[in-house]
Amino acid sequence: MDLLEKIKTIKQEIKDFNAPDNDQLESFRLKFISRKGIMSNLFDEFKRIPNNHKKAVGQALNDLKNDAQTRFQELASSLKSQEGSSKSSGIDLSLPPVQNTLGTVHPLTSVKLQIIEIFERIGFNVSEGPEIEDDWHNFTALNFPHNHPAREMQDTFFIEKPSKADDKSDDIALRTHTSSVQVRVMEQTDPPIRTLSPGRVFRNEAISARAHCIFHQVEGLYVDENVSFADLKQTLYYFAREMFGKDTKVRFRPSYFPFTEPSAELDITCLICHGEGCPICKYSGWVEIGGAGMVDPNVLSNCNIDPEKYTGFAFGMGIERITMLKYQIKDIRLFTENDIRFLKQFTSLY
């Protein structure tokens, strides 16, 4: 074969050469570039050809040498970029994607939001207050006389208790109820007031299936001219029907709270047996969901609202209690245990 033919074949070979790995790249270098490779043979042959062919063949040889260099650079850089990309991701792109599991709203949050939404429809706004509360807002402004046994009804976690028997004004405690927010709102707002105050409350109680030392309440307050007990009853009837279904009945039982007069405890028909009687309602057909009443005139004046001009109603309900009744949850501790098998059952709630 004459030398030009040979060069042409080798040129093609260089063009077609692929180097999927470093070994192949090295063989390319040894074969086409190194001193001991194909090139030195060609240059040896070149010396022996007649002078009149030297110019053309020499040109072709130089081209070939350049081609080999360029191809070597190409192969080396493509190998490098392949290595780089697989190293940086380290991912098998053919694997199916990992399922993205979203968390869900906690059932207590969901019920709180449902309650807010129901009351917002009839003009209530939402207000909040601190969980660490002073004696005035948790007790005294709410008409709890100093040393009155009603204070002991709510087993309080005190943070500071420097008080003597007849002066408790410096006491600081974890709030025992959201009624403290009533006081804060009335102190800061002129009537008409229609507000709902959901929040966490604390009582020094033994934890059991039915009671916890940390739980949630929602407080309602309506103060305006001519607010009556009939308004309170209609508002709570409306709430019970919206929350638990249109056949739900509501019952008010006379009761006592220092901050309301008259006061009532609020029952609804048992959601399990619909009034027939079952273990949940202790065969009475009724279950308690909270307390309510007309705001005591003393409380209004404590908050600088004229009791001659304004009247109001208030109510307080336990959010755990409502959630347990609505979703038939039998143990209050489930709310704080964070067992995913429990929480997952509420994925459809908002």
Q: Which residues bind ligand DAH (CB under 6 A)?
A: 177, 179, 219, 257, 260, 291-293, 314-316
Cα dist. 113→81, 271, 287 in Å? Answer: 54, 20, 22
Q: Which distant-in-sequence residues (6+ apart) come within 8 Å of 28 by Cβ?
A: 17, 19, 71, 72, 75
The residue (of 107 and 316) whose beta carbon lies closer to ligand DAH is 316
| DSSP H/E element including 182 | helix 179-188
Residue 10 to residue 8: CA distance in whole angstroms: 5
Measured from the CB of residue 134, what is the shortest distance to ligand DAH in angstroms? 17
Measured from the CB of residue 180, what is the shortest distance to ligand DAH in angstroms? 9
Asked if 222 and 193 count as a contact pair (C-beta separation under 8 A), the reply is: yes
Measured from the CB of residue 230, what is the shortest distance to ligand DAH in angstroms? 16
The backbone torsions φ and ψ at residue 119, rounded to the nearest 5 degrees and listed phi first, read -80, -30
Measured from the CB of residue 294, what is the shortest distance to ligand DAH in angstroms? 8
Measured from the CB of residue 177, what is the shortest distance to ligand DAH in angstroms? 3
Measured from the CB of residue 249, what is the shortest distance to ligand DAH in angstroms? 20
The residue (of 218 and 270) whose beta carbon lies closer to ligand DAH is 218
The residue (of 140 and 260) whose beta carbon lies closer to ligand DAH is 260
Cα angle 350, 274, 277; round to 5 = 130
Cα angle 346, 220, 231; round to 5 = 115
Residue 178 to residue 174: CA distance in whole angstroms: 11
Identity of residue 9: T
The residue (of 71 and 203) whose beta carbon lies closer to ligand DAH is 203
| DSSP H/E element including 244 | helix 229-244
The residue (of 17 and 239) whose beta carbon lies closer to ligand DAH is 239
The residue (of 260 and 269) whose beta carbon lies closer to ligand DAH is 260
Asked if 267 and 289 count as a contact pair (C-beta separation under 8 A), the reply is: yes
Residue 115 to residue 242: CA distance in whole angstroms: 9
Asked if 132 and 157 count as a contact pair (C-beta separation under 8 A), the reply is: no
Measured from the CB of residue 304, what is the shortest distance to ligand DAH in angstroms? 19
The residue (of 179 and 248) whose beta carbon lies closer to ligand DAH is 179
